[in-house]
Structure 1
Amino acid sequence: MNGHLRPEQEAVIPVMDHGLLYGDGVFEGMRFYHRRPFRLAAHLQRLADSCSAIRLTLPYTRERLAEAVDEIIGAFPEENGYLRLMVTRGTGPMGLDPASCTRPNAILIATRLEMVHPELRQEGIRLVIAATRRLPADGLDPRIKSLNYLNHILARMEATQAGADEAVLLNSQGRVAEGSAENLFIVRDGLLATPRPVDGALKGITRGIVLELAAGLNIPAREAPLTPYDLYTADE
């Protein structure tokens, strides 16, 4: 935290940090395998872009952040894991105006995270289309990885209450945006399709890799406006 490696119990932020008070901040979530971060440069670029988009100063250079990533991975007891890198607006008086906030806080967490149980990767998961909608792109650009994930949390709660494993979020026009914590792809007649960022999809790092791999394998792939009809009629 802020350049110092600390155990979880000692890594604390002030209660007046605007990241806690208002969700004012951004984050990146990334995997590491065999103690090597996956696509670190791309994640750091997106973090910098998210900071710029909300006019938040990134308190460390990308080189220093990369060093911190190596340091925390080296201290983690397992070869594989998950990293959460967050930048908050910092401490300031109560009120929405961040002008008086002090230096932003940078927090890096290493932990375990299993998004989907291994058995479900083989069997498939149960989805519901949530009543909770994705925030509109003209309200908050989906390319910003904001700390405020409340609508995604509400959608996941809907899935749990319905006995499903995951929720699909639509945008305000009824087009498919994304899952509560992942991008979506469908296959129909040999075409691989994924929702467009303009429809609320995050430009996910793994999403981009899938599109790159498809191009390299000559698999037709594109971003497309998708509706629930497309999900119901997809081949996979």
Structure 2
Amino acid sequence: MYLFLNGEILHKEEAKISPFDHGFLYGMGLFETMRTYSGHPFLLNDHLERLQLGLDTFNIDLDLQKLDISGMIASLSEKNGLQDSYIRLNISAGEGEIGLRTTPYNHPNILLLQKELPPLMPLREKEAVLLKLRRNTPETSVRLKSHHYFNNIAAKREAGDDPGKEGLFLTKEGYIAEGVTSNIFWISDGKLYTPSLETGVLNGITREYIMELAGTLGIPSEAGMYMPESLLKSDEAFFTNSVQEIIPIHTFEGRTFPGKRGRIAQQLYSHYERDAQVLFSKNELHRS
């Protein structure tokens, strides 16, 4: 398998990064995961916008608009012979002296990884499992998709490796937060609900797309602070992320849900299937 490292396509065995990279020493790194569908990087612009926010917060001096990320993905896809794939764009702060740094990082490492995925995954159900471990709070006011990932890893260890289960975080106050690697939605009386960013959850790219899509379809939505009882009393529920797409929930805390038979989940996914082939941003929904 080949990867992109600092503008050069290399075999994965050839890639090297300095042990003095502050992404390794201090977690000063960010990443985005996305999918290509028939070569198209779905919602690429939205991913890059979130990544740029993180870079600015980390004081990593890099303007993503000056990079041809789309071209990099196309070149790597051609080299690896993959049109339907998982893509991870990783940017770390780069090499520096040992010690905490206050000045900007001017020479970040830019890494693009790829692996094969099937073209489109049909709706697959999961059980939502309430975690004992609580969601930690973000380091800053907004949660970044950064190298600081142990809360998620510890949660995954608690939930286990069963692909049919997704751990569900609560905040320390007991509000619903998010899945181990996903956001969560549920529907009650035709209205779509999801936890507010005030809970400290990641503002998922698919989360934002689903809320925008719901608006175009006339489905009312609300983001707020909710206790687990709100989910338990709902009509249907699902997780979302950029790799697994829309994942209906069939069971939570002994309660059975419609799962992939859920009317709203099916409606949203039918649009997702079409949009995944063409959209670069959720904002294009208003023009499609």
Gaps of 5+ in 2: 237-288
- Structure 1 residues 58, 95: closer, same or farther in 2, change over 3 A? same
Q: CA separation of 1:218/1:127 partners in 2, compared to 1, >3 Å: closer, same or farther?
A: same
By how many angstroms is 1:153 displaced? Answer: 0.9
Q: 1:10 aligns with which of 11, 14, 34?
A: 14
Alignment deviations for residues 115-142 of structure 1 (CA, whole Å, 9 cap, x no partner): xxx68x44x21222222222224x3344
Counterpart secondary structure, 1:73: helix
Which consecutive residues of structure 1, in runs of 5 or more, have no partner in the other structure?
A: none
Q: Partner of 2:51: helix, strand, or coil?
A: helix
> Which has the larger displacement, 51-60 or 208-217?
51-60
Partner of 1:186: 186
Name the % identity: 33
2:130 corresponding residue in structure 1: 129
- 50-59 or 175-184: which moved more? 50-59
In the alignment, which residue of structure 1 is the partner of 2:25? 21
One-letter amino acid matched to 2:27 = G
Q: TM-score, normalised by structure 2?
A: 0.73
Q: Mapping of 1:86-97 within 5 angstroms? A: 86-97=90-101
Amino acid at match of 2:235: D
1:216 aligns with 2:216: yes
Which amino acid letter does the alignment assign opposite residue 187 of structure 1? I
Per the TM alignment, residue 109 of structure 1 is displaced from its structure 2 partner at its CA by 0.6
Question: What does residue range 75-224 of structure 1 map to in structure 2 within 5 Å?
Answer: 75-97=79-101, 99=103, 103-112=107-116, 121-122=123-124, 124-137=125-138, 139-160=139-160, 165-224=165-224
Contact 2:94–2:105 (8 Å) recurs in 1:
yes
- Deviation at residue 65 of structure 1 after TM alignment: 2.5
Relative contact order higher in (CA < 8 Å, ≥ 6 apart): 2
Question: Quick check: 1:93–1:101 contact (8 Å CA) kept in 2?
Answer: no
Against the structure 1 CA distance between its residues 94 and 78, is the aligned structure 2 distance closer, same or farther, given a 3 Å change threshold?
same
Deviations for 1:81-100, whole angstroms, at most 9, x for unmatched residues? 11111111111232233649
Which has a greater percent of strand?
2
- For residue 71 of structure 1, what is the aligned residue in structure 2? 75
Given the superposition, is the C-alpha separation of residues 14 and 168 from structure 1 closer, same or farther in structure 2, using an over 3 Å criterion? Answer: same
Contact 1:26 / 1:144 at 8 angstroms: preserved in 2? yes
TM-aligned CA distance change 1:48 to 1:60, over 3 Å: closer
TM-score with structure 1 setting the length: 0.88
Deviation at 1:201, TM superposition (A): 2.1
User: What is the root-mean-square deviation of aligned Cα atoms in Å?
Assistant: 2.3
